[in-house]
Amino acid sequence: MRPWAGVIAAYRDRLALPEGTPDCTLLEGNTPLVPSVALQRSLPGNLAIFFKYEGLNPTGSFKDRGMVVAFARALARKARVCLCASTGNTAASAAAYAARSGLRCIVLLPEGSIARGKLAQAAMHGATIVSISGPFDNAMRMAQELVRQRPEIELVNSVNPFRIEGQKTAAFEISDTLGDAPDFHFLPVGNAGNITAYWKGYREYADAGRIARLPRMVGFQAAGAAPIVEGRVIPDPQTVASAIRIGNPASWKGALAAASDSGGWFGSVTDDEILDAYQFLAREEGLFVEPASAAGVAGLRKVAAQGRIPPGSHIVITLTGHGLKDPDMAARVAAPKPISIGPTLAELVHAIEG
Ligand code: AN7
């Protein structure tokens, strides 16, 4: 068996990349498709549920799949500086690949709502961090305005088509592992690049004869930040799931097409539902994800209770980012209280039985 060498090496012939494009891989991709135990048991209808655990990518989120391709392209056109607006994970990923590739990285972050782990990553990798007042959407607009004025800067947000190219490889991996596409694919939606990318990947695999069916794509937004569900820009999006606190998604059209062409749909889940699913995954499945990543699970629980999922369905849910990204939220919901004792067995026995 050849060792895993990253998504470009694994799927180069299926990526729209010019010949000879350099690879700057951190060996992203090849993440586990973990079968559910507790979620499956808790829902009716003998569902077969799998988690695509994207938190195990090199920087702890799915963004690395697209970032490696965006950087391959940036290196091919000899860019020296990359730029992104981000709710945190794109920034962490861009900063890591920039460090690897010798580019300067500038990240524009919405002030005050970036999870601590993500900010630490961007800083550790040496990015220039600019904090912009208002929601992510302000930062996104300013990133686009800046590259219009300075076209030599490489914009590595998912409006960059090479990001979508890379991210579609998750659909390939799922299909390769299961031997076909699932019946349903659930995932959280923020800027809407990922749902667009998955749908592209599944369609291309079907066209190539690698899968016999296509999944219904089901996207979930946080109730306070659900522009696609409500069909309007949300000027002041609010949710505890900071990664998806986005009011005007860049890939809005692609997301709508993915849901409608696949026979899927969009829904929203409240912060309480997100935090319930977040804790359920950690306590019952052994999977620690960040709050936004639990939105797809919260969504499945909701629609399964409404009887919208046929018995026996195969379902994949993408868990987009690792729980360690947002240690403050974990501390808030789990409130760790270690029992302090001296180093004696009597005290230990008392502590664990008390
Ligand atoms: C954990 O990092 O938009 O719908 O700037 O970090 O493709 O945007 C992150 C998004 C889901 C939503 N889960 O994906 C950013 C950013 C996590 C995320 C999403 C994000 P998209």
Query: Mean pLDDT, consecutive 10-residue segments, the chain of 354 residues?
Result: 92 90 94 98 97 98 98 96 98 98 98 96 98 96 98 96 98 98 98 98 98 98 98 97 97 98 98 98 98 98 96 98 97 91 97 88
C-alpha distance from residue 71 to each of 3, 123, 124, 183 (Å): 22, 19, 19, 33
User: Any residues with CB less than 8 A from the CB of 108 and at least 6 apart, and which?
Assistant: 83, 84, 85, 86, 130, 132, 139, 140, 142, 143
pLDDT of residue 21: 86
pLDDT of residue 116: 97
For residues 26 and 58, the answer to whether their CB atoms sit within 8 Å is: yes
User: Which tens digit of pLDDT belongs to each residue from 72-115?
Assistant: 999 999 999 999 999 999 999 999 999 999 999 999 999 999 99
pLDDT of residue 1: 74
194 within ligand 1 shell (Cβ under 6 A): yes
Which residue's structure tokens are 């895993």?
4
pLDDT of residue 19: 82
> Which pair of structure tokens corresponds to residue 15?
């990526």
Task: Kindly report whether the global pTM for this prediction surpasses the value 0.85.
Answer: yes
The mean of the pLDDT values for the chain is 97
The Cα 263–Cα 272 span in angstroms is: 28
190 within ligand 1 shell (Cβ under 6 A): yes
pLDDT of residue 20: 81
The Cα 7–Cα 71 span in angstroms is: 13
pLDDT of residue 135: 95
For a pocket test of ligand 1, which of 83, 84, 89, 108 has the largest count of ligand atoms closer than 8 A to its C-beta? 89
121 within ligand 1 shell (Cβ under 6 A): no
254 within ligand 1 shell (Cβ under 6 A): no
pLDDT of residue 334: 94
